[in-house]
Amino acid sequence: MDKVESDGFPYQRVALGGFSQGACLTLEYVRRYPKQYGGVFGLSGGLIGPTAGVPHPDAKLEDTPVFLGCSDIDPYIPAERVRDSAKVLETMDARVEMMLYAGMAHTIIEDEVQKVRAIIERMLE
């Protein structure tokens, strides 16, 4: 990621995201390498491992917009994992929006796409 910035793309213009395992890896990456990103998206995913291990108090996401979307009955990602992930990212000063969709399958729905799109559009203004 340092090469991205050295090539002229500030972190505030970079969005990171993923679905399912990709969401888990994205969220874990930003927990370990916090910066002010343009946006972070975790669709049907959560932080990996114990969420009680909150990062160092100086590890801040500096108001990074984060969207977490998941089913309330996802067979792979328990709703509590998503809630715990949101809490950890909030302690890192991220601006988190979390949606647990009733009865949704392990998939991506249009509402999630619209929320991601809105964050990216604000990032590009």
Q: Strand 39-43 and strand 15-19: pairing?
A: parallel
56 tagged catalytic: no
Catalytic residue among 44, 71, 74, 85: 74
User: For the domain that residue 108 is a member of, what is the CATH number?
Assistant: 3.40.50.1820
Domain that holds residue 113: 2-51+59-123
Integer angstrom CA distances of residue 10 from 15, 26, 81, 122: 11, 18, 30, 15
Catalytic residue among 2, 20, 56, 85: 20
106 tagged catalytic: yes
Q: What is the pLDDT of residues 20-73, one digit of tens each?
A: 999 999 999 999 999 999 999 999 999 998 765 566 678 899 999 999 999 999
Q: How many domains does the chain have?
A: 1
Band of pLDDT at residue 96, cut at 50, 70 and 90: very high
Instruction: List the Cα angle 18/19/22 in 5-degree steps.
Output: 55
74 tagged catalytic: yes
Give the pLDDT of residue 9: 84
